[in-house]
Structure 1
Amino acid sequence: MFRVAVVGSGPSGVYTAQALVQQTAVPDVRVHVLDRLPCPYGLVRYGVAPDHEKIKSLQGTLRTVLEHERVAFVGNVEAGTPELPARRLLELYHAVVYCTGAAADRRLGVPGEDLPGSFSATEFVSWYSAHPDAAPDGFALGVRSAVVIGVGNVAVDVARILARGAAELLPTDVPQGALDLLSGSTLREVHMVGRRGPSQAKFTTKELRELGSLPDARVSVDPAELALDPAYEDPSELPTALRRNVEVVRGWASAPPSARGRVIRLRFHLRPVELLAEAGRVAAVRFERTVPDGAGGVRGTGSYEDIEAQLVLRSVGYRGTPVPGLPFDPARGTVPHAGGRVLRDGRPSHGEYVAGWIKRGPTGVIGTNRPCAKETVASLLADAGALARREVAGEPLDVLRQSGLRPVQWPGWLAIEAAETALGASLGRRSVKIADWAGLLDAAGDGRV
């Protein structure tokens, strides 16, 4: 039996497990998919917006892999802790593949960033996705104006959730506490602001168009501001995806005014320089006007504008965080590797591998993780002959329990699913996520052994 631990049960981890059990070169592979949370699926469960049900349906595909006879889900087990250091995993498994993602957010690095009322988009997404580490009531939505800094898909997601009516979120699995706060929101304006123009924004056209389809919100764009983008007047030379983005924004800029309630203001060529306070909380964001620098970037003009905001969400990218016991490149936010093989002092570390964002950085879409995982598994299989000769300890789950850990296995996760269905029924809704550690572990019941 060839034992592999995959650390992380998001798409990169599950695709790694799938590639391992589908290959035939090493037929007797057993894969344990470890996760520090008692629930599988990673960012598909805790990062995809609740109103994106088609993307969330990917859980069905991931589920099929985790129910494979040679794959076992092992939740509530955190690798890299004193109870389970990296060296201990190598005593239990012939190979370990780390698929831990990039959970930290990038900072703006401007004065006032840590004022009350200023958050990362990651924190907001975790809150409305019921991540058990999220503050249950950390967001005061009795505000007039919010600023979302960034023009990627995550920025679009949080702007859309802020602008949606609570009735639109009622059929989703958004936790009840978040739904209650969103129901009482007094927000009237959401400003989504980027330092460059629409032809350089990172959102996808499908995500962007959704902003214009909200029944109780309208999109506002200033044509004069868009004209600062060199490609705005004639986007025909742009790649197809960027050209379509510009065309969508052009359509909004020329559309007649709408009477819909909330307004989403798309702002471009503005970069944040300071968050301003009033009564100890954020009250506005000061931006500097930018213009193209002729080399694909922008430069400041020395002209400034303050945008009122009692809530600020920064969405300027993710970063990987160090995995205790593994080397780490702080500049790239990744583990050094060659073809997925972890490198220690420039040389492959016997039996240690990486896949997903911790391997390549926060790039690509969910599907990008599949070829990334296959590359890593190919490296692992090439090493399998040497790895299989190494002695490993007894049954890993027995050793984990002896160390004081209480893994949540697949039956425990199924019990959590059933409890969330029952919670939704009690609230007159569909399945509703349990949002706290105690509730999740209690629901796991006998599956936590």
Structure 2
Amino acid sequence: MTCHLAIVGSGPAGYYTAEAAQKLWGDDIRVDVFDTLPVPYGLIRTGVAPDHQSIKGVSRRYETTALSENVRFVGNVTVGTDVSVGELQQLYDAVVFATGAPHDRPLGIPGEHLANVFGSAAFVGWYNGHPQFAGLDPDLSGASAAVIGMGNVALDVARILSKTEAEFASSDIVAHALDALGASHVHTVTIVGRRGPHQIMMTPKELGELMHLERASPRVDPADLPAAADDAMLEPGLRKSVGHLRSFAAIPESERADKAIEIDFDMFASPVRLIGEDRVTGVEVERTRVEAGRAIGTGETYVIPADIVVACIGYRSSPIPGVPFDERMGRFANDEGRILPGLYAVGWAKRGPTGTIGTNRPDGQGIVERIAEDIASGAIGGGAKEGRAGFDRLAAERGLDVVTFRDWKKIEDAENRAARDGAPREKFVDIESMIRARG
């Protein structure tokens, strides 16, 4: 008896779930992986920094799964609009949401709606060519940028703002972003964090990259650093990251003089207001102290100049009609991945935006095991649904223009052929171009 599984989202969580389903059920599983975009891989394509090509290489593993006979890509189909969740439930034994967390968490402070203020999902999507954000057009004519957040995404944004065109040679940054960054007048990038060095979420590798930028130098105020002996209590990765911050603080001013851009870490600073009339001109912050790991305001405020602000403070999943959603956590309401009978969540859609790409692999395995348990217990059916045959009939009735994985390979080939010298690809940044490229 064949089990039919629908996975909504073709990023890491989606394909790790498909891979786990193959391993558990073998030839007795049929998996359809849905995506709103005509192209797969989600976060790998539009979230991972364009100068981190080695990380993007994990897509080769997903391609192996996608090319299997019992797994297929169903692109250019929006669940909740083109097809309802209820309809998928009627067609598939189980529906798994692997939609990630594509929306920015709001800052929640006055002024966040001023011009030239962006969330990281939008700004990263802009330089990665996501069709939703390709037209963002940030103004980089000012001298100062503020990046709010103390995680790796904040580091990505600061690094991208600071690199030379030559440093992007082997990346897949899209042409419109490369042109804009080449004309940028930003020479100070301030990374703003509410807490201190021992509370950062930045990993050693990403921090270490700042030491090797051609025209930028990182700066940390030595006064923000705790006593070196206090580092001993930290877990090894964080201890190494703090070690990088100590190295930044020790860079001689004579070395900085040769650098056109300064990346300044402003810690113990909690944003309270964005300043400006029509567009942002600064970030008002309150000086903090850390007690029991929490940032406590001191009442002292000051202004950080900022002609552009990018908030890198977290993400939220997209609610889908008919699926219980936890507004406070910004994810689907679930109990260890179970939402409702036959409905499941995996990855960021399940746990929120935490963990690495690799975290999604055991998460996918876990949700497949729970689906198997529910089938075995009779909580959901197993093998009695139409699956892809039923969806194909529905798609034909509605005239849906479904993009297959074979279509995607044609799109990918066209992107590879269009690449500038040294780059792996030049991504299409609008859906119409993607559709035309498949022929």
User: What TM-score range do you get, normalising by the shorter chain?
Assistant: over 0.9
| Bigger mean CA offset, 116-125 vs 163-172 | 163-172
Distance 1:330-1:156 versus aligned 2 partners, 3 A rule: same
Q: Please list, as runs of the form range in 1=range in 2, the aligned pairs for 1:263-278 lying within 5 A after superposition.
A: 263-278=262-277
Which residue in the other structure is 1:142 paired with?
141
Q: Percent identity of the aligned residues?
A: 42
Work out whether 1:291 is the aligned partner of 2:285. Answer: no
Residue 431 of structure 1 corresponds to: 425
Describe the SS at the equivalent of 1:303. strand
CA 1:429 to 1:371, structure 2 compared with 1: closer, same or farther past 3 Å?
closer
Provide the rounded CA distance (Å) in 2 between the counterparts of 1:336 and 1:322: 10
Structure 2 counterpart of 1:253: 249
Q: How does 1:98-177 map to 2 (within 5 A)?
A: 98-177=97-176
The alignment status of 1:306 with 2:303, answered yes or no, reads yes
TM-score (norm 2): 0.94
**Which residue matches 2:232?**
236
Select 1:397's aligned residue among 392, 396, 399: 392
Question: Partners in 1 of 2:138 and 2:165 — Cα distance?
Answer: 15
Match for residue 351 of structure 2 among 356, 360, 363: 360
The letter of the residue matching 1:361 is G
Aligned to 1:7: 8
1:430 shift after superposition? 4.1
Structure 1 distance, partners of 2:406, 2:132, is 23
CA RMSD of aligned residues (A): 1.7
CA distance in 2, matches of 1:124, 1:291: 30
Q: Give the letter aligned to residue 236 of structure 2.
A: T
Q: 1:89 to 1:205 in 2, by over 3 A?
A: same
Cα distance in 1 for residues equivalent to 2:232 and 2:172: 41
Residues 235-280 of structure 1: CA deviation (Å, up to 9, x unaligned): 11111122112111111112212221111011100010111115x2
Q: Deviations over 1:328-360 (max 9, x none)?
A: 1112222222332213xxxxx2x2211111111
Q: For the Cα contact (< 8 Å) 1:30–1:71, is it kept in 2?
A: yes
Q: For 2:136 and 2:183, locate their aligned partners in 1 and report how far apart those are by CA, in whole Å.
A: 13
Change (3 A) 1:391 1:433: closer
Could you tell me which residue of structure 2 aligns to residue 411 of structure 1?
406
What secondary structure is seen at the aligned counterpart in 2 of 1:141? coil
- Assess, with a 3 A threshold, how the Cα gap between structure 1 residues 137 and 99 changes in structure 2: closer, same or farther: closer
Aligned partners of 1:85 and 1:128: how far apart in 2? Answer: 32
Q: Which residue of 2 aligns with 1:79?
A: 79
Q: Which amino acid aligns with 2:411?
A: I
Match of 1:60 in 2: 60
Q: Matched residues in 2 for 1:335 and 1:140: separation?
A: 35
Task: Give the match for residue 281 of structure 1.
Answer: 279
Q: Which residue of 2 aligns with 1:444?
A: 438
Name the CA distance, whole Å, in 2 between partners of 1:44 and 1:108.
25
Q: How many residues align?
A: 431
Indicate whether 1:315 and 2:316 are aligned.
no
1:205 matched residue in structure 2: 204
Deviation for aligned residue 1:232 = 5.2
TM-score (norm 1): 0.92
The answer to whether the 8 A contact 1:31-1:72 is kept is: yes
Structure 2: distance between partners of 1:370 and 1:435: 29
Question: 8 Å contact 2:162–2:261 — kept in the other structure?
Answer: yes
Contact 1:172 1:432 in 2 (8 A): no
The equivalent position to 1:380 in structure 2, one of 351, 367, 371, is 371
Relative to structure 2, which stretch is displaced further, 30-39 or 255-264? 255-264
Equivalent position amino acid for 1:299 in 2: I
Secondary structure of 1:435's aligned partner: coil
Q: 1:233 offset after TM fit, Å?
A: 5.3
Measure the CA separation in 1 of the matches of 2:382 and 2:249. 62
Cα pair 1:232 1:246 within 8 Å, conserved: no
Residue in 1 aligned with 2:328?
331
Q: Which has the higher contact order (CA 8 A, sep 6+)?
A: 2
